Structure 1
């Protein structure tokens, strides 16, 4: 009886650990001014947002002003998406001498602000498969 009880507990515990549901996020940019370069996407948690390497990233070709990235196996939670139109292919945002971005960029929720975006403005909640559009 004791062995049966232990086996059931171990089985339930292992099922709970392996049953973490994950989701897919589709991110579309449809307003690129041209097809030059690529779109660079990053999906970040609050701790990674503009501080560290993202949870996932993608580099996508632009065709007729449209680029679509798909992030898979995302656990439920809060995330932010950043998108950069990397015209020169150096995988980073370029700035003018005055500190203004030279390349177009956008964030989840499409906040319109002067200066760096905030986590609160850009965060989205993933609780199921989701599609969002980001404007540059």
Structure 2
């Protein structure tokens, strides 16, 4: 009886782990163009509902080494997303601006759009479906 119960528990747990792995995919982000190792890079994974409006669905704060970082967002359900990245040189966890409103710290977006004005979700969006994704963001 104990053996049967233990087998059922183990089977249930293993199925739960398998199902969890199938729930979402991963998105790996690399940035190889960071001008120095001062501060950290803050990455935010957004949907159209959160982009430039509210807190990211997932956030990562990564230490810079040799002008590079790599971060992986896990368990992403299929859909459209965008990533905002900020080189937070002074570690205050926010974008700093000059008096004329221009950013003082480097930033980047998924798809590396070259636009003037605020970032736009449609320019930065990418689709998560059945495969893991690797993105390279340029500052």
Q: TM-score, with normalisation over the residues of structure 2?
A: 0.83
**Which of 21, 24, 32 is the equivalent residue of 1:22?**
24
Deviation at 1:114, TM superposition (A): 1.1
* Cα deviations by residue, 1:36-57 (Å, 9 ceiling, x for unpaired): 0000000001000000011000
Q: Distance in 1 between matches of 2:26 and 2:102?
A: 33
Q: Which runs of 4+ in 1 moved over 2 A?
A: 17-21
Q: What residue number does 2:134 align with? A: 131
Q: What residue number does 1:8 align with? A: none
- Contact 2:41/2:64 (8 A) holds in 1: yes
Q: Distance in 1 between matches of 2:40 and 2:33?
A: 13
For 1:63-102, list aligned pairs within 5 A: 63-102=65-104
- Contact 1:80/1:122 (8 A) holds in 2: yes
Q: Distance in 2 between matches of 1:18 and 1:67?
A: 27
1:111 partner SS: coil
For 1:27-46, list aligned pairs within 5 A: 27-46=29-48
RMSD (CA atoms): 1.5
Name stretches of at least 5 consecutive residues in structure 2 with no aligned partner: 1-18
Deviation at 1:18, TM superposition (A): 7.8
Q: How many residues get paired?
A: 120
- Contact 1:20/1:75 (8 A) holds in 2: no
* Cα deviations by residue, 1:31-83 (Å, 9 ceiling, x for unpaired): 00000000000000100000001100000000000011110010000000000
Deviation at 1:100, TM superposition (A): 0.2
Name stretches of at least 5 consecutive residues in structure 1 with no aligned partner: 1-16
1:28 partner SS: strand
Q: Distance in 1 between matches of 2:22 and 2:37?
A: 38
